[in-house]
Amino acid sequence: MSDADYYETHAEAFVAATIGADMAALRQRFLSALPPSRTGPVRILDAGSGSGRDALAFREAGFAVSAFDASAAMVTATRAHAEVSARRMRFEDFDWEHPFEGIWACASLLHVARDDLMPVIARLARHLVPGGVLYLSFKSGTQTRIKDGRRFTDITSDDLAQVLNGCGDLGPPDIWQTRDCRPDRGTETWVNALVKRR
């Protein structure tokens, strides 16, 4: 079973488990770092949009939001919940016709193989305007593990800094840790990062 297959099969349960997670503080930290747009509304890409929870919050805050996910069921959920344009696409195949002031990859890049992280993040970075901001988060740890058919690439703060510093177009990252905000996951730690394109 691939990661996308898992979300096809478990879409309803996944949406129910994540739609209410309070990500407001993380979203605000991201939004505060975004540069102004020179061409119209500030554009945000929700990369690995899942339920559409964050895409909805960004749209309601007045941003021009696009989204993608590898799972057709998650694309459907994003379109239904957030009412934004969403495409089915894998990180490894990512391409877009215009750049963004911000790319939000919340708990989504953790399904990318460790050896592919640097090229995938570099590909995302190329779709930021100069000064544009990438947010990303991973579960804290050192393992690559399989759970319920999904691959999880856990990472430490130091390892994430090394990956980001290897993506040539990015400035120094701001990395910090948080606890999982879902009620039944409060003991899990997440590694978060904000990084700007030079």
User: Which sign does the torsion angle of CA 141, 144, 23, 192 carry?
Assistant: positive
CA distance 188 to 129: 33
CA distance 99 to 128: 5
Q: Evaluate whether 36 touches 42 at the Cβ level (below 8 Å).
A: yes
Q: Which two tokens stand for residue 96?
A: 């877009």
31-41: pLDDT as tens digits: 999 999 998 99
Burial (CB count <10 Å: 0-12, 13-18, 19+), residue 143: exposed
Element (H, E) at 5: helix 3-9
Among 124, 137, 139, 138, smallest CA distance to 170 is for 124
Q: What percent of the chain has pLDDT over 70?
A: 95
Among 170, 180, 183, 163, smallest CA distance to 128 is for 170
CA distance 66 to 127: 13
Q: What is the pLDDT of residue 9?
A: 81
CB atoms closer than 10 angstroms to residue 6: 19
Q: To the nearest 5 percent, what fractions of the chain are helix, strand and coil? A: 35, 30, 35
103-159: pLDDT as tens digits: 999 999 999 999 999 999 999 999 999 999 999 999 999 999 998 889 999 999 999
CA distance 163 to 145: 19
Q: Which domains are present in the chain?
A: 3-196 (3.40.50.150)
CA distance 21 to 181: 6
Structure confidence at residue 184 as a pLDDT band (50, 70, 90): low
Structure confidence at residue 186 as a pLDDT band (50, 70, 90): low
Answer yes or no: is pLDDT of 1 > 60: no
User: Which sign does the torsion angle of CA 134, 138, 141, 144 carry?
Assistant: negative
